[in-house]
C-alpha cells in the first residue's frame, strides 16, 4: 500500500459500490488470487470513462473481466471495449462473466498475447487505453499503444509504483525483481519525457499513471 491505510479505509467507506453482480466477480477473483483493479483505483477508472465518454476503449489485461465490466457501465451509447487476455483459464472465466452480465455486444475479448494484437489495430483508433497486464512488457508495448491511441486520448497504466519498490535502488530490490524494476522505471521515464505526452503519476492503489497524447483530431 502506498498511501496511508487510514485514508484508503475512509475512501473505501465513501465508495458507492458497483452492485451485487460485480461484487460477486470481485469476491470470487480475490478468493482465487486473481488480480483485479484495486478499490482505490476504481473511482479514477469510473470517472475517466464518464468524463471522456470514449467510443472505443482498449484494455490490455482482462483477468476475469471485472474492470471491463466496470467500465462498460459508464460507456456512452454505442461505446465499445476491446480487451485482451493471454491466460486461458482467465479467458474462459471472463467469457462467462461477460455472458452473464449481457455484455457480449459491448465487449470483445481477444485471447492471446497482447503483442500479437497491438500492431493490428487501426492507427488512432482508441479513445482510452487501460494497461494492466505483464509489467515487464510496458516499455516494449508503448510505441504500439501510442500508435493506436487517438490524439487527445488517454493511456491509463496500472501498478506503475510496484508497492513503492520503483523508488528504490536496483540493489535494494530482490534480484528476481530487478528486470521488472528497471523496465518500470524506463516506462515511467518514457511517459514523462516523450515529446507529445503529458503524464501524471498518482499514488493510488499500486500507482496509476494518466497519460494524454497531445494534439487535436
The continuous run of DSSP H or E covering 140 comes out as: helix 138-148
What three-state secondary structure class fits 205? coil
Check residue 204 and give its pLDDT. Answer: 82
Residue 162 pLDDT: 76
Rounded distance between C-alpha atoms, residue 142 and residue 140, angstroms? 6
pLDDT digits (tens, 9 = 90+) for 19-68: 899 999 999 999 999 989 988 889 999 999 999 999 999 999 999 999 99
With cut-offs at 50, 70 and 90, classify the pLDDT of residue 178. Answer: confident
Q: Residue 32's CB: how many other CB atoms inside 10 A? A: 11
Chain position carrying cell 521488472: 180
- Tell me the pLDDT of the chain averaged across its residues: 91
Q: Which helix (H) or strand (E) holds 12?
A: helix 5-14
Task: Measure the CA–CA gap between 90 and 86, rounded to whole angstroms.
Answer: 8
For position 182, what pLDDT does the model report?
Answer: 84
Task: Look up the pTM and report it.
Answer: 0.93
The predicted pLDDT at position 117 comes to 96
- The pLDDT score that the predictor gives to residue 115 is 92
Q: pLDDT tens digits, residue range 113-163? A: 999 999 999 999 999 999 999 999 999 999 999 999 999 999 999 999 876
Tell me: the pLDDT tens digits for 66-101? 999 999 999 999 999 999 999 999 999 999 999 999
Among the listed residues 64, 74, 78, the one whose alpha carbon sits nearest the alpha carbon of residue 18: 74
Map out the domains of the chain with their CATH numbers: 5-213 (3.40.50.150)
- Is 3 a residue whose pLDDT tops 80? no
* pLDDT greater than 80 at residue 185: yes
pLDDT for 126 equals: 98
Amino acid at each position: 500500500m502506498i498511501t496511508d491505510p487510514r485514508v484508503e479505509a475512509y475512501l473505501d467507506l465513501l465508495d458507492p459500490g458497483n452492485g451485487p453482480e460485480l461484487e460477486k466477480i470481485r469476491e470470487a477473483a480475490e478468493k482465487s488470487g486473481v488480480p483485479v483493479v484495486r478499490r482505490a483505483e476504481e473511482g479514477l477508472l469510473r470517472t475517466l470513462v464518464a468524463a471522456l465518454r470514449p467510443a472505443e476503449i482498449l484494455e490490455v489485461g482482462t483477468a476475469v473481466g471485472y474492470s471491463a465490466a466496470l467500465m462498460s457501465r459508464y460507456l456512452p451509447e454505442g461505446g465499445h471495449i476491446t480487451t485482451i487476455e493471454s491466460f486461458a483459464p482467465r479467458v474462459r472465466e471472463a467469457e462467462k462473466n461477460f455472458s452473464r452480465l449481457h455484455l457480449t455486444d459491448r465487449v470483445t475479448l481477444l485471447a492471446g498475447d497482447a503483442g500479437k494484437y497491438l500492431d493490428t489495430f487501426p492507427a488512432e483508433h482508441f479513445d482510452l487505453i487501460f494497461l494492466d497486464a505483464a509489467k515487464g512488457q510496458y516499455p516494449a508495448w508503448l510505441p504500439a499503444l501510442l500508435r493506436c491511441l487517438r490524439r487527445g486520448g488517454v493511456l491509463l497504466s496500472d501498478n506503475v509504483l510496484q508497492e513503492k519498490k520503483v523508488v528504490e535502488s536496483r540493489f535494494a530490490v530482490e534480484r528476481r525483481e530487478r528486470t521488472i524494476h528497471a523496465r518500470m522505471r524506463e516506462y515511467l521515464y518514457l511517459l514523462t519525457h516523450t515529446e507529445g505526452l503529458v503524464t501524471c503519476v498518482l499514488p493510488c492503489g499500486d500507482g496509476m499513471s494518466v497519460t494524454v497524447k497531445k494534439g487535436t483530431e
